[in-house]
Amino acid sequence: MEYFCIVFLRILCLFYWSNCFLFLNVLQAGFWKHRQDLKSNKLKELADSLPTFVLCSRAVSTNVKDKNAWLNWKKWGKDNLGVNVFPVSPFFLSLYLIDIFQSCNLPSPIEAAVYGVKWAHDIRGVPSPIESTLVRQVLEAAK
Over the stretch 83-135, which tens digit does the pLDDT of each residue have?
778 899 999 999 999 999 999 988 899 999 999 999 999 988 889 999 999 99
- Residue 29 per-residue DSSP state: S
Q: What pTM was estimated for this model as a whole?
A: 0.77
Q: Give the whole-angstrom CA distance, residue 129 versus residue 9.
A: 29
Query: What is the arithmetic mean of pLDDT over 35-51?
Result: 86
Instruction: State the pLDDT at residue 66.
Output: 92
Instruction: State the pLDDT at residue 14.
Output: 46
Confidence category of residue 2, pLDDT binned at 50, 70, 90: low
Q: What is the 3-state secondary structure (H, E, C) of 39-96?
A: CCHHHHHHHHHHHHHHHHCCCHHHHHHHHHHHHHHHHHHHHHHCCCCCCCCHHHHHHH
**What are the residues whose beta carbons fall under 8 Å from the beta carbon of 1, sequence distance 6 or more?**
none
Give the Å distances, CA to CA, from 13 to 16, 24, 69, 77, 129. 5, 11, 19, 27, 30
The answer to whether 97 and 133 are in contact (CB under 8 A) is no
Q: What is the mean pLDDT of the chain?
A: 83
Residue that wins the pLDDT comparison between 22 and 78: 78
Query: What is the arithmetic mean of pLDDT over 15-19?
Result: 45
Confidence category of residue 77, pLDDT binned at 50, 70, 90: very high
The answer to whether 67 and 61 are in contact (CB under 8 A) is no
Does the pLDDT value for residue 15 go beyond 50?
no
Q: Give the whole-angstrom CA distance, residue 92 versus residue 99.
A: 11
